[in-house]
Amino acid sequence: MPAALPATDRPVPSGTAAVPVEGAGFALGAALLGFFVITLDALIVSVALPAIGNDLGGGIGGLQWVVDGYTLMLAALLLSSGSVSDRIGAKRAFGLGLVLFLAASAACALAPTLGVLVGARLVQGTGAAVMMPATLALIRAAFPDVDRRTRALALWAVGGSVGSAAGPLVGGALAGWDWRWIFFINLPVGLVALVLLSRVPSSPRRAVPFDVTGQASAVAALGALTYALIDGGQGEAVRVPQADGTLVKIPAAVDEALPPSLLTLTDVFCTGHHAAVTARVRPGSSVAVVGDGAVGLCAVLAAKRLGAEQVILMGRHTDRTDLGVEFGATDVVLATGDEGAEQVRKLTAGRGADAVLECVGSMQTLTTSFSAVRDGGVISRVGVPSYTDGPIGMEMIMRNITLTGGVDPARHYIDAVLPDVLDGTIRPGRVFDRTLPMEQAPDAYRAMADRRVLKALLTP
């Protein structure tokens, strides 16, 4: 005889319609809320990391574990959590996972140290992994009719989508008040889900295999991979693939004042140098540099190094433009837009600069650059653009202006400029005006974004 189909999968006789089982609405509500908090907590923490770091410390690596500890356990334990749901019943599995999730959420909210928070996040991910397949099993049992089940699954998916979309928004709002509330918020949602679950009939159990060795191996393997990605580069030695092409050898003994300048060769100085090179700056050139940030100041230094006769720095912060003068700027224009461009033209006998190095990336600074450059001149853009359209129509063509620039190939330039750094001819490291420990990296980024710091240097 052919084997009988399970009751929930038997075809519905023609002219009849299967109806949801008792408590179907409660099962769907519990499953939807469960999926909501699972996805919410995968994303809500990221935007709160600066606030968590300020409160608990721990450095970048520790904060990364706050995010990845949760997703690590969720991903690793999903391999066997379906079997757990079958063996003990979907309702019981969902309830146990949710209770574990809520207890861990409370522990996260009350964590006195970063280590406790990371540990609680691991437990929270474990609870989420147990819940996840049980949410689907609850819906499958509650809606035997395929059409109704499909609609129920669509609503379930909406819960996850809302959680994903709300995570960063809710996290940002709550972190501005108190980051601990990003975990407390799980408690009322979870309690509602438990109340709904209490109205759901008990789920059947099935004897299915459980691969303990395979599950343990998966957790160990994913844990080791996550550790390598987060902490692998923070040891005393690092193995670097293709080191011949990516690392630069310097003398074993260098002056202790040199490291800041050496660091700029991997970033801001070579970016400014790239602007000057692509703008064809040469001895006797007149150059206007738009922007008094770290890249703009390094562009001043690079232009002077290449022999520019006149270097005009356009900026708004006198403490920075003063450093620009020390780097070689012959003139300073404390204005932007048409007024600033007009001053550049006056300083260049009405012609405009031979080369304009645009080191900001805004539409206004690009427009200023077109107004400040001479006919037949060159504009080099190295500021990351915040726009998609620009003034590159007929006027640019008729004036024969060259627009160039882009991402700098730092490794290509380092060998040429390194000797001048080592012998002290140029000191681009002076753009670092604040030194902070690594665990205060979020503070450093905020200070630079608020223009309170020009460039921050992080130390171990």
Give the residue, 57 or 92, on which the prediction is more confident.
Answer: 92
Q: List the beta bridge partners of residue 269.
A: none
Average pLDDT, the chain: 87
- Phi, psi angle pair for 313, to nearest 5°: -100, 125
Interatomic CA distance for residues 380 and 280, integer angstroms: 9
Interatomic CA distance for residues 373 and 358, integer angstroms: 11
3-state secondary structure (DSSP) of residue 435 = strand
Interatomic CA distance for residues 353 and 450, integer angstroms: 31
Q: Exposure string (b/e) for 385-424, b if CB count within 10 Å is 16 or more?
A: eeeeeeeeeeebeeeebebbbeebebeebbeebbeebeee
- Please give the pLDDT value at position 272: 96
Q: pLDDT tens across 101-121, in order?
A: 999 999 999 999 988 999 999
pLDDT at residue 248 tops 90: no
pLDDT at residue 7 tops 50: no
Token digits of residue 151: 């609609």
- Please give the pLDDT value at position 367: 93
Q: Is residue 457 very low, low, confident or very high in pLDDT (cuts 50, 70, 90)?
A: very high
- Please give the pLDDT value at position 119: 92
Interatomic CA distance for residues 128 and 34, integer angstroms: 8
- Please give the pLDDT value at position 209: 80
Burial zone of 7 (CB within 10 Å; 0-12 exposed, 13-18 middle, 19+ buried): exposed
Which of 42-51, 188-197, 228-237, 392-401 is predicted most confidently?
Answer: 188-197
- Please give the pLDDT value at position 459: 86
pLDDT at residue 1 tops 70: no
Q: Is residue 252 very low, low, confident or very high in pLDDT (cuts 50, 70, 90)?
A: low
CB of 133 closer than 8 Å to CB of 124:
no
Residue written as tokens 């972190």? 175
Least confident of 160-174, 187-201, 357-371, 406-420: 160-174
- Please give the pLDDT value at position 234: 55
pLDDT at residue 15 tops 60: no
Q: List the beta bridge partners of residue 404.
A: 380
- Please give the pLDDT value at position 12: 45
pLDDT at residue 93 tops 50: yes
- Please give the pLDDT value at position 195: 93
CB of 25 closer than 8 Å to CB of 201:
no
Percentage of the chain surpassing pLDDT 70? Answer: 93
**What DSSP string runs through 353-420?**
EEEEEE-S--HHHHHHHHHHEEEEEEEEE-SPPS-S--S-SHHHHHTT-EEEE-S--HHHHHHHHHHH
- Please give the pLDDT value at position 20: 59
pLDDT at residue 11 tops 50: no
Q: Is residue 264 very low, low, confident or very high in pLDDT (cuts 50, 70, 90)?
A: very high
Domains defined along the chain, listed by start: 19-231 (1.20.1250.20), 261-434 (3.40.50.720)
Least confident of 195-204, 249-258, 282-291, 415-424: 249-258
pLDDT at residue 4 tops 70: no
Q: Exposure string (b/e) for 8-28, b if CB count within 10 Å is 16 or more?
A: eeeeeeeeeebebeebbebbb
pLDDT at residue 165 tops 90: no
pLDDT at residue 85 tops 80: yes
Cα Dmax for the chain: 101
Residue 228: C-alpha distances to residues 126, 214, 221, 222, 373 (Å): 21, 21, 11, 10, 50
- Please give the pLDDT value at position 78: 83
